[in-house]
């Protein structure tokens, strides 16, 4: 009898463990979110799913509307406190039934159907708006965007101020704002779909979902840092993938010519990052251990140029070292000297140097030797980079009062502007096939022309190498300094590596 009881107890335990395993095995992967469910008394239950292969979220939802004094829709959410920036590229699926079916971001005080809330939304007919309810059960208010058909939707909170930034992918944001909307510090943040028809389920797909926590007002630049996401961007589609994140500052990824490795700086050291293993390794740079984000690979990928701070010599000094590591060779005798480019034949380096209190672009033999000043205009000249054929150097200059992209011949002649000053444009990088340039654009309302700070709203924009046409936005980023200071194209000219930032790296998980 005792043996029978033991066997029965063992069977019950095994059954319980098996059930637990089944429950765990069936636990849904929700990506960055904590949960999902229908809000209000919907007639047809909705659903939500995350696809880890495509890094997309798909929601279905019904409900009469998100309007008047109560709401009905499907919501995929996470709890958050404090400030945040919500970003996605969103699209409704199919033709749909009602022109006011909805897809977008929402922030709610609670999951009750009458909760105070705000949402940034695109309707089925293209209407794009910022909708909000100030108190429980109050009527919904609306601010309509100046554009329609936005598929890029960003909603940002700073205190009780909510800012909607929307765009048709490839174009700059258009902004609307609501102030003095106290939804509480602890809120539900997420994606939603509503059908505007209680008898119908509508579907929405969300890609490149990012939830960033911005820098607090008291952050001291170059002393305090946010977490970093290492991302890869497909230039043709705009799709982004987070391949690595770390709760400290890493900056300026370079791509090796074999396509297998990235190099970046962090904590004054240089790292190689194996793309197959998703693993960083410290690169030996001898006693040169105060490296900043102005580091560049030679075109053949065999040599690495470094910029490293040496206080006794006036600041950043340029060195070269084999890409496999070793003892660096000092190139510039004094600082500040910030390296940005190698000539294709490896014989010449171009850098930004401060000489006589004026920042200009200089060239210097890569083996060491006399410097040659290439620019003389008043204002900051920075970011020089050779074209793959070695005939031109692209750079950025604030000589007209706004930071713009310029080009000149390799000897410094025929300097001409490429961008028109709509934004402050920095760090032009030429694709290996010589067809395109990408560059970083800061908002004029956030930065001065001669500054490129950390932790701002920035764009990656792209132009044909000729400079013809309007630049296309290929990424909408929270970043800035360190995002893409140095050449970051993949060798096939199809992808770009860059850094985005957040105060909590847990809100941007690595995508497999």
Kindly give, in sequence order, each residue whose CB lies less than 8 Å from that of residue 234, ignoring residues fewer than 6 positions away. 240, 494, 495
List the domain boundaries for the chain.
35-212, 227-507
pLDDT value at residue 27:
65
d(CA 123, CA 129): 8
What tokens were used for 486? 């140095």
pLDDT value at residue 421:
87
Element holding 405 (H helix, E strand) = strand 404-409
pLDDT value at residue 505:
66
pLDDT value at residue 508:
63
**CATH code assigned to 227-507:** 2.120.10.30
d(CA 181, CA 258): 52
pLDDT value at residue 23:
33
pLDDT value at residue 14:
38
Q: Mean pLDDT, 10 residues at a time, over the chain (512 residues)?
A: 41 37 54 97 97 96 97 98 98 96 98 98 98 98 98 98 98 98 98 97 98 96 96 97 96 97 98 98 98 98 98 97 98 98 98 95 98 97 98 98 98 97 96 98 97 98 94 98 97 98 76 66
Give the N- to C-terminal CA distance of the chain in Å, as an integer: 53
What secondary structure letter does DSSP report for 449?
T
What does pTM read for this prediction?
A: 0.93
How many Å separate Cα 336 from the centre of its chain? Answer: 29
Q: Report pLDDT digits (tens) over 69-118.
A: 999 999 999 999 999 999 999 999 999 999 999 999 999 999 999 999 99
pLDDT value at residue 218:
94
- Work out the burial of residue 471: count CB atoms within 10 Å of its CB; fewer than 13 is exposed, 13-18 middle, 19 or more buried: buried
Element holding 8 (H helix, E strand) = helix 2-25
Kindly give, in sequence order, each residue whose CB lies less than 8 Å from that of residue 139, ignoring residues fewer than 6 positions away. 68, 69, 133
CA separation, residue 78 to residues 102, 116, 186, 226 (Å): 20, 16, 10, 21
Range 35-212 classified under CATH 2.60.120.200: yes
């Amino acid at each position: 009898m005792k043996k029978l009881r033991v066997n029965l107890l063992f069977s019950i335990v095994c059954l319980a463990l098996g059930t637990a395993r089944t429950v765990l095995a069936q636990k849904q992967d929700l990506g960055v979110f904590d949960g999902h469910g229908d809000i209000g008394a919907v007639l047809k239950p909705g659903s939500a799913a995350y696809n880890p292969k495509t890094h997309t979220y798909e929601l279905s939802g019904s409900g009469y509307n998100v309007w008047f004094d109560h709401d009905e829709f499907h919501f995929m959410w996470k709890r958050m406190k404090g400030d945040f920036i919500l970003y996605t590229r969103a699209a409704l699926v199919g033709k749909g039934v009602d022109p006011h079916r909805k897809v977008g971001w929402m922030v709610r005080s609670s999951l009750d159907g009458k909760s105070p809330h705000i949402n940034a939304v695109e309707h089925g007919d293209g209407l794009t708006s910022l909708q909000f309810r100030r108190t429980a059960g109050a009527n919904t208010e609306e601010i309509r965007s100046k554009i329609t058909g936005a598929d890029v939707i960003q909603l940002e909170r700073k205190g009780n101020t909510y800012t909607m930034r929307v765009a048709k992918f490839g174009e700059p944001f258009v902004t609307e704002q609501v102030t003095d909307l106290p939804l509480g510090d602890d809120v539900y943040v997420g994606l939603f779909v509503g059908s505007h028809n209680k008898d119908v389920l509508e579907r929405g797909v969300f890609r490149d979902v990012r939830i960033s926590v911005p820098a607090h007002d008291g952050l001291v630049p170059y002393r305090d840092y946010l977490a970093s996401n290492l991302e890869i961007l497909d230039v043709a589609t705009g799709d982004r993938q987070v391949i690595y994140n770390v709760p400290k500052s890493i900056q300026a990824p370079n791509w090796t010519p074999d396509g297998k490795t990235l190099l970046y700086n962090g904590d004054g050291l240089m790292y190689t990052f194996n793309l197959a293993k998703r693993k960083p390794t410290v690169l030996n740079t001898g006693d040169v251990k105060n490296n900043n984000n102005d580091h560049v690979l030679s075109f053949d990928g065999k040599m690495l140029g470094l910029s490293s701070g040496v206080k006794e010599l006036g600041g950043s000094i340029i060195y070269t070292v084999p890409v496999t590591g070793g003892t660096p060779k000092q190139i510039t005798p004094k600082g500040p000297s910030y390296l940005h480019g190698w000539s294709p034949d490896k014989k010449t380096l171009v850098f930004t140097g401060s000489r006589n209190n004026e920042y200009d672009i200089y060239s210097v033999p890569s083996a060491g030797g006399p410097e040659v000043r290439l620019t003389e205009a008043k204002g900051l000249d920075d970011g020089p980079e050779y074209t793959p054929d070695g005939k031109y150097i692209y750079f950025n200059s604030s000589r007209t009062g706004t930071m713009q992209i310029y080009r000149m011949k390799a000897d410094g002649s025929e300097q001409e502007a490429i961008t028109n000053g709509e934004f402050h444009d920095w760090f032009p990088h030429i694709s290996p096939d010589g067809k395109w340039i990408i560059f970083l654009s800061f908002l004029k309302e956030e930065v001065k022309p001669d500054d490129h700070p950390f932790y701002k709203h920035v764009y990656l924009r792209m132009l044909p190498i000729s400079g013809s046409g309007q630049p296309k936005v290929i990424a909408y980023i929270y970043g800035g300094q360190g995002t893409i200071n140095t050449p970051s194209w993949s060798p096939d000219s199809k992808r770009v590596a860059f850094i985005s930032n957040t105060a909590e790296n847990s809100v941007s998980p690595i995508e497999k």
